[in-house]
Amino acid sequence: MSAELATAAGHDASHVDHGDHGHLSAENNFLGLPNIKLAMWAFLGSECMFFGSLIGTYFFYHGKSLAGKLPTEVFSITITSISTFLLLMSSMTMALAVDATRLKRLSSARAYILATAALGATFVGFQVYEFSEFVHEGLTLSTSLFGSTFFVMTGFHGAHVTVGVIWLTMLSIMISNGKLNKERSPITVESAGLYWHFVDIVWIVIFTFVYLLEFIK
């Protein structure tokens, strides 16, 4: 018993003084993973349920609209392909931003972050254009089940992209005024990156299943 305890103590003591006592979060770090990263993964799991419910409802109601335009009558694959491409490119610039923080090149990280935000904002601009076109063609929130489910699902995705753009803008401001230093920047930017890639992946799902599959005869 005592030998076992001693071994356990020896093993466990190695944990005790690890990390930076200046930060509460670093004091206990049982999984060896930063709290913020673990939190982002848990949050994204929660977000999966959120978008799962939105997309699930879209398909629950698919083909059950009693009035109004059909998806194939309003979707413009060309326009949406362009905006999808821009969003995919934003994931690349996001990855480059995370990489730059690891290399401690904060000014190039800031440039990539701003590029990501700009691409995201352009995507949202495309969505605003798309929505106004659809309304112009007579598809609104109240037209049909398709209108309700489509606008709310893609609208919440667009809102997530908008939140991401604001988040990235904040990060670039914080790099500019020195609130985000070289030590904290990798994990901070990586967390934003996790969110950004997630929102991007959700769009890939929506683009594939909601837009492209509609045209398979």
Contacts with other proteins by CB under 8 A lie at 1-2, 5-6, 8-9, 11-13, 15-16, 21-25, 27-31, 33, 35, 38-39, 42-43, 45-47, 49-50, 52-54, 57, 60-61, 64-67, 141-142, 144-145, 147-149, 151-152, 156, 166, 170, 173-174, 179
Residue 50 or 82 with smaller CB distance to other proteins: 50
Q: What is the DSSP letter of 188?
A: H
Query: Cβ 50 to other proteins, closest distance in Å?
Result: 4
Query: Cβ 189 to other proteins, closest distance in Å?
Result: 13
Residue 166 or 205 with smaller CB distance to other proteins: 166
- Long-range residue pairs from 167-172, CB within 8 A, at least 24 positions apart, any chain: 167/192, 167/195, 168/113, 168/114, 168/116, 168/117, 168/120, 168/192, 168/196, 169/114, 169/117, 171/113, 172/110, 172/113, 172/114, 172/117
Query: Cβ 89 to other proteins, closest distance in Å?
Result: 26
Q: How far is CA 209 from CA 59, 167, 169, 194, 203, in A?
A: 9, 28, 31, 23, 10
Residues in the chain, overall count: 217
Tokens for 75? Answer: 């979707």
Strands (E), 86-203: none
Query: Cβ 156 to other proteins, closest distance in Å?
Result: 8
Residue 33 or 103 with smaller CB distance to other proteins: 33
Residue 51 or 126 with smaller CB distance to other proteins: 51
Query: Cβ 82 to other proteins, closest distance in Å?
Result: 28
Query: Cβ 216 to other proteins, closest distance in Å?
Result: 23
Cβ atoms of residues 199 and 161 within 8 Å: yes
- CA dist., res. 38 & res. 36, Å (int): 6
10 Å CB burial of residue 89 (0-12, 13-18, 19+) is middle
Residue 31 or 216 with smaller CB distance to other proteins: 31
Residue 107 or 142 with smaller CB distance to other proteins: 142
